[in-house]
Amino acid sequence: MGGAAGLGIGSGGSRRSGAVGRGQLGMKTVAEAKTAKSTKMRVPIEATLELHRGDRRLALVSLGRQALTHRVPEKDLAALGRLPAPRRQPVAPAPGPQDDRPAALGGWRSAGVRLPMEAQVNGFQGAPQVRELVSNAVREAGGGDRFRTRGQAAAYTLTEAVSTEWLIAALPLLTSAGAELPPVHATGAAGQDLRASLHARLRDGRVLGVGDKMTFETVGQSHLDAPRPTQTDGQSAAGHGGSARGLAGAGLLNADEFRLNQLIGNAGGSGGAADAAVNASGSMPLHKPKSALVLVQFTLDVRVVARVGNRLRPGRTGTAVRELTLPRPVVIRMPEPVVRRMLAAQQDRLQDPDDHLGLRKTAAATPPD
3 state DSSP class of 86: coil
184 φ, ψ (degrees, to nearest 5): -125, 135
For 159, the domain range is 95-225+285-369
Whole-number pLDDT of residue 133 = 93
Torsion angle, alpha carbons of 134, 135, 141, 147, to 10: 120
Whole-number pLDDT of residue 131 = 93
Q: Provide mean pLDDT across the span 268-290.
A: 62
Asked if residue 24 has pLDDT above 60, the reply is: no
Cα–Cα dist 303/321, whole Å:
7
210: left (phi over 0), alpha (psi -120 to 50) or beta: beta
Using CA atoms, how far residue 138 sits from 132, 164, 319, 357, in Å, is 10, 20, 8, 44
8-state DSSP, 256: S
User: Is 31 a member of any domain?
Assistant: no
Cβ-contact 322, 133 below 8 angstroms: yes
Q: What is the pLDDT of residues 242-263, one digit of tens each?
A: 677 666 665 555 555 555 555 5
Cα–Cα dist 314/63, whole Å:
49
User: Is 167 a member of any domain?
Assistant: yes
Between 223 and 11, the more confident residue is 11
CA proximity to 271, closest of 15, 8, 7, 9: 15
Asked if residue 287 has pLDDT above 80, the reply is: no
Cβ-contact 213, 155 below 8 angstroms: no
User: Is 136 a member of any domain?
Assistant: yes
Residue 321 — pLDDT band, cuts 50, 70, 90? very high
Residue 299 — pLDDT band, cuts 50, 70, 90? very high
For β-strands 286-287 and 228-251, DSSP reports them as unpaired
User: Is 242 a member of any domain?
Assistant: no
Indicate the number of domains in the chain. 1
User: Is 240 a member of any domain?
Assistant: no
User: Is 6 a member of any domain?
Assistant: no
Q: What is the pTM of this model?
A: 0.72
CA proximity to 209, closest of 82, 41, 318: 82
Q: Provide mean pLDDT across the span 90-112.
A: 80
Asked if residue 169 has pLDDT above 60, the reply is: yes
Asked if residue 201 has pLDDT above 70, the reply is: yes
Q: What is the pLDDT of residues 28-39, one digit of tens each?
A: 666 555 667 888
User: Is 364 a member of any domain?
Assistant: yes
Residue 300 — pLDDT band, cuts 50, 70, 90? very high
Please state the separation of Cα 350 from the chain's center in Å. 27
Q: What is the pLDDT of residues 334-345, one digit of tens each?
A: 899 999 999 988
Whole-number pLDDT of residue 11 = 75
Cα–Cα dist 194/182, whole Å:
9
